[in-house]
A and B are shown apart, each in its own frame.
Chain A
Amino acid sequence: KAGVTQTPRYLIKTRGQQVTLSCSPISGHRSVSWYQQTPGQGLQFLFEYFSETQRNKGNFPGRFSGRQFSNSRSEMNVSTLELGDSALYLCASSLLQKDTQYFGPGTRLTVL
């Protein structure tokens, strides 16, 4: 069974631009969560989707948004990028919200 895949793996953007990251969950998994990981703050929860509905959202500004498609694939978007958005963005999928989460390799975003 293929694992969670994230594209792109690396991304360099400049301040003010926007970016879209993609996540393909494990086949059959309906819950997809997004996380931001930085050296200063560690891992932080962004949001969680289940069957195309956002069920939970972390404490991030509205510049961070996401969506989930009918095939469970998910995208997250960050608008008006700031230097502090430089981070590793991780996606994780699970069968149900309370089940074991499987993480992808992450997308390393650098904002210049």
Chain B
Amino acid sequence: KNQVEQSPQSLIILEGKNCTLQCNYTVSPFSNLRWYKQDTGRGPVSLTIMTFSENTKSNGRYTATLDADTKQSSLHITASQLSDSASYICVVSAGGSYIPTFGRGTSLIVHP
């Protein structure tokens, strides 16, 4: 069964600090891995998309890495801001069909 596990479930950090969120998956065959940011009460916003051949992708202060061999991805947030407080969701799509499997998300709270 295709699964996506994210850790930690929740995280509290101080403004200005860096943090790293983890995503492990068992989706096979693999097509792509996406990270989304979802603010409370709003739809998710795409941060990065990575295919099998990509092992790092940046979007401003967000940097995602992918290790297709170990089926792990991480999202690193640099110099956190209060507006980074949100849920971060990892999504892995299966090859061919692109049917996505979602992780449960990491809830990040950034305190001033």
Partner among B31, B45, B103, B105 whose Cβ is within 8 Å of the Cβ of A103: B45
Are B32 and A56 touching (Cβ within 8 A)?
A: no
A57 to B11, CA, bound (A): 33
Contact with B along A78-110 (1 / 0, CB 8 A): 000000000000101000011011111110000
Are A45 and B100 touching (Cβ within 8 A)?
A: yes
Which residues of chain A from 11 to 43 have a CB within 8 Å of any chain B CB?
A: 42-43
Contact with A along B10-49 (1 / 0, CB 8 A): 0000000000000000000001101000000011111001
Give the size of the chain A interface in residues (CB under 8 angstroms): 19
Also in contact, A90 and B102, with CB within 8 A (given A98-B31, A98-B32): no
Interface flag for A8 (CB, 8 Å): no
Select from chain B the residue with minimum beta-carbon distance to A42: B104
Interface flag for B97 (CB, 8 Å): yes
A88 to B34, CA, bound (A): 21
Partner among A45, A90, A98, A101 whose Cβ is within 8 Å of the Cβ of B46: A101
Contact with A along B93-108 (1 / 0, CB 8 A): 1000111111111000
Are B98 and A43 touching (Cβ within 8 A)?
A: no
A104 to B41, CA, bound (A): 11
10 cross-chain pairs, A with B, having the tightest CB-CB distances, nearest first: A103-B43, A43-B102, A42-B104, A100-B46, A97-B98, A103-B44, A56-B99, A45-B100, A90-B43, A105-B43
Chain B positions near chain A (C-beta within 8 angstroms)? 31-32, 34, 42-46, 49, 89, 91, 93, 97-105
